[in-house]
Structure 1
Amino acid sequence: MDKLEQFLSSKLLPMSEKLQKNKVLAALMEGFIRTSPITLGIAFITILGNFPIPGWTDYLSKIGVFPHVEAITNGATGVFSLYVVYSLAYAYAKQLGANERNSSIISLASFVMLMPQQVMTTVTQDGQVVEQAIGALKLDYLGGQGLFIGMIVALLVTRVYAFLSKKNIMLKLPESVPPMVTQSLSPVFVVTIIFAVVFVIRVLFGFTPSGNVFQFFMEVINAPLNSLVASPISIILIMELLAVLWFFGIHNAVLQGPLGAISLTMVVGNITAFQQGQELPYLIPSVIYMGMFASGFMGFVTFFMIKSKSAKMKQLGKLSFIPSIFNITEPIMFGMPIILNPIFFIPQVLTQLIAGFLTWGLTTTILPVSLNPTMSLLPWTTPTFIKMPLSGGLNYTIIMVLSMIVGIVMWYPFIKIADKKEYELELAAEAKEKEQSAEQLKAEGIQA
């Protein structure tokens, strides 16, 4: 393992450091890290509202608490794209030497301008139920489904703003005008140009069958998968695609169409057959799905982080450990970040692929599984190490353990590499701080 770490360090770290000097990647990493207080802060309420006890959610709904849990969750993760757009634009503007606040607010406005702003609902008129369009923004596009478009908008708008700001098209105001007012009013021509471009983009996508850029993007991503049926290879393909897209900041919600259709087919088909005492039609795909899910269990990753030398990774590991146990991965995905971090490309992309084929091979040869599909109805926050043993007994538990071992083997060396890098940065920052303090004391001594 040590030789592997040394090899990866010698090859990966130089490449990673070179890539992270890129202004876009640096801004992406900083932008995601800045959103980590939101994902960490909401984790406890998310776990509490979806605690893996049968009937818990129904009980919260009965006493009138669950709608408030949903409201708090939606206020954080349901509109998460808004926070990413603002944070990313701010970080990128800093890299480009542009006004951070102006870039952030203009990017945020452009993002909202591109959204559909009408939602169809049903109302009662003259005793009849009719459909009516109301002015509203869909949480779908404000949350995970809009994340990738939000990233693109933040980067492009900020880049254009920085470019145009350096041209002589800024509004000139007298020096007597307060700086805050000058900073707010001087880019008015630049902002007008940006909003005009946003208008043209909105109109162009409005003429497509999709109707808007968000729906267009989701249909392009979903199109190759919509014809897939629940089979071992389709499950491996979709889960692997989720892992790849997640690395590039494209949230799993984008694929909820084909994934939801396939998973619902498996769940309903298996439960129906199970209740009738028949052979489960989607046994192997279901087992593969959970095997791949188990390999992506991030509890081990956060545990390794707690044992790190780096203060940043140690603290983030402690904060992310409990959420990761309950399958809430956003704190570590955005906090490390894992998204668009070159160091973590290999484990993020290959771990579940390896576990998928391993699970497929084991299930069809030496570890056949007798599955109780009703356990799939447990809340999504049910820890994997509880759900899988309850669902399939000893053989399923062995598959879970082996899948988790794949995850441990894949992630451990890369966590060590990241820890080494962060620890060296922290030591360098500490040395610099001590040097500056010594120089300051020396200067004060000379003045005295």
Structure 2
Amino acid sequence: METIEKFLNKFISPIAQKMSENDTIQSIAEGFMRTGPVTFGVCFFAILANLPFTWYADWLKSIGIYDHMQAVLNASLNILALYVSFSLAYSFAKRKNDNALSCGFLGLLSFLVVIPQTVIGKDGVAIAAFQLDNLGGNGILVALIISLLTAHIYHALSKKGLKFKMPDGVPPMVSESFEPIFISMIVVLVAFAIRVGFGFTPYGDFLNFFSSTIGDVLIKVGLSVPTILILYFVANLLWFFGIHPNTVYAPFVPLQMTLIVTNMKDLAAGEPLTYLTVALVSMFASFGGNGNTVGLAFCMLRAKSKRYKQLNKVAFIPNLFNINEPMIFGFPLMLNPTFFIPMVFSSTILGLLGLFAMQFITFDFNPSMSLLPFTTPFFVRGFLAGGIKVLVMLLLLLVVNIIIYYPFFKIADKKACEEEQAALEAEKGELNEAQ
């Protein structure tokens, strides 16, 4: 244990620290978080439009409401790349104390310049329009790259003082809008050069190039079962040693949003979900907080020591809502050798068991439920996402999770009882001496 801790402190902690302080990485996480009003705002409609009941979907279509609900999704999740292109550039500029609004608009503009602006109609005639797919799941990673490139250019030119200075008497609103005029010209010129340059390649445009090469590899590797299991393993390992797992999750957010948007598009089109297996394994592998500590919370219902009985009164309910900080710091689980194995390896075990069950059982999955807040209890999310079969599977995995934690909890509970008994006897001894 000491060897692992020394290794992490020497090699991993500095990397995690640099990642947590890196403006680009943090802008990605912050930028996607800033799209929360869009994703959470339409969550209600996404759920209502995609409840897992055939009769319900037919009823919505019969009364003419279904198309209107889809219009809400088309204006939000299905064009998420537009919001991302603005939000990421805005977040980076804000961290660098640049003109965040101007930078955000330039990020959006650059993305729209770079992507294709024609759609082939049914008669084979090209129509001047933006294709919806390119503004959604297909374009999220490209929006990320272009908006961050724009933000870096904006910051570099701002540092060099390339700003249009207006007289002091000019209102601030006017001054701020004219200030980045030269920077805007250069940013647009770069976007134009990218568009023209890739227009002369066999790919035709940057989005097609990225999707066919780098993006294809990133998505295949990033949205695969091994990567998901490794992600949870590393996150749990770092959390055990006191490094917050958000350091690991932040770079994965763009791929996660690509997964959600792509699956929702497939669902709306009545096609098999592209990332069904990954989405289900992700749900099966991690619930009840990092390290799946909800299993430990159930173990503590059988606690004999006063310490853990009292702790569970505070930690049990939050753990059901995927908030396990009271458990992590109150137990404590962090740097507690007794719980190294269950906390670090539980997600891998549960994910593999879920994957094994999928070889024999066909599970349904409603990807719109991925938009629910992370504090949604796992059994509620599971039932809404996949009905009774997913719920039963999660409850079975919870039983396995409890079994994984139980022997280690018994060791800790026994030790706590012995310490409490020793303290009680010492107190009695002091009273006897006082008498």
TM-score (norm 2): 0.59
**Shift in alpha-carbon separation, 1:225–1:154, aligned structure 2, 3 A:** closer
In structure 2, the partner of 1:208 is 201
Change (3 A) 1:39 1:114: same
Shift of 1:402: 2.8
Equivalent residue for 2:62?
62
CA drift of 1:199 comes to 0.7
Q: Any conservation in 2 of the 1:92–1:155 contact (CA below 8 Å)?
A: yes
Residues 249-302 of structure 1: CA deviation (Å, up to 9, x unaligned): 224359969x98xxx9999xxxxxxxxxxxxxxxxxx9x76862542565767x
CA distance in 1, matches of 2:403, 2:45: 28
1:142-165 per-position Cα deviation (integer Å, ceiling 9, x unaligned): 222211221222221111112112
Instruction: In structure 2, give the amino acid aligned to 1:247.
Output: F
Cα distance in 1, alignment partners of residues 96 and 403 from structure 2: 39
Deviation at 1:175, TM superposition (A): 2.6
Q: CA shift at 1:80, angstroms?
A: 1.6
Separation (CA, whole Å) in 2 of partners of 1:16 and 1:408: 32
Are 2:144 and 1:187 equivalent residues in the alignment? no
**Aligned counterpart in structure 1 of residue 284 of structure 2, from 295, 300, 322:** 295
1:148 maps to what in 2? Answer: 141
Secondary structure in structure 2 of the residue aligned to 1:55: helix
RMSD: 5.2
- Helix, strand or coil: the match of 2:119? strand
Determine which of 166, 172, 175 is the counterpart of 2:168: 175
Matched, 1:133 2:138: no
Provide the rounded CA distance (Å) in 2 between the counterparts of 1:291 and 1:379. Answer: 10
- Aligned residue number for residue 101 of structure 1: 101
Residue pair 1:388, 1:397 contacting (<8 A) in 2 also: no
TM-score (norm: length of structure 1): 0.57
Describe the shift of the 1:85–1:408 C-alpha distance in structure 2 as closer, same or farther (beyond 3 A): farther
Partner of 1:401: 396
3-state SS in 2 of match to 1:64: coil
Post-superposition offset of 1:87 = 2.0
Who is 1:278 aligned against? Answer: none
Amino acid at match of 2:52: P
Give the Cα separation in 1 of the matches to 2:288 and 2:154. 41
Deviations 1:59-78 (A, max 9, x none): 21111101111111222211
CA displacement, residues 43-67 of structure 1 (integer Å, 9 cap, x when unaligned):
1111111112122112211111011
Partner SS state of residue 116, structure 2? coil
Greater mean deviation of Cα atoms: 201-210 or 100-109: 201-210
What residue in structure 2 maps to residue 252 of structure 1? 258
Query: Structure 2 CA distance, aligned partners of 1:214 and 1:114?
Result: 8
**How big is the shift at 1:196?**
1.0
Larger deviation, residues 288-297 vs 399-408:
399-408
* Count of matched residue positions in the alignment of Structure 1 and Structure 2: 327
Q: Deviations over 1:422-445 (max 9, x none)?
A: xxxxxxxxxxxxxxxxxxxxxxxx
Aligned equivalent of 1:163: 156
Q: Which whole-Å CA distance do the structure 2 matches of 1:76 and 1:360 have between them?
A: 32
Q: CA deviation at 1:32?
A: 2.4
Is the Cα–Cα contact under 8 Å of residues 291 and 403 in structure 1 kept in the other structure?
no
Structure 2 alignment gaps of length 5 or more: 233-248, 298-314, 323-341, 370-379, 406-435
Greater RCO (CA < 8 Å, at least 6 residues apart): 1
> Given that residues 27 and 92 in structure 2 are in contact (C-alpha distance below 8 angstroms), is that contact kept between their aligned partners in structure 1?
yes
Q: Give the CA deviation at 1:135.
A: 1.5
Q: Check the 8 A contact 1:202/1:212 in 2, yes or no.
A: yes
Alignment deviations for residues 104-133 of structure 1 (CA, whole Å, 9 cap, x no partner): 1111111111111111112xxxxxxx2222
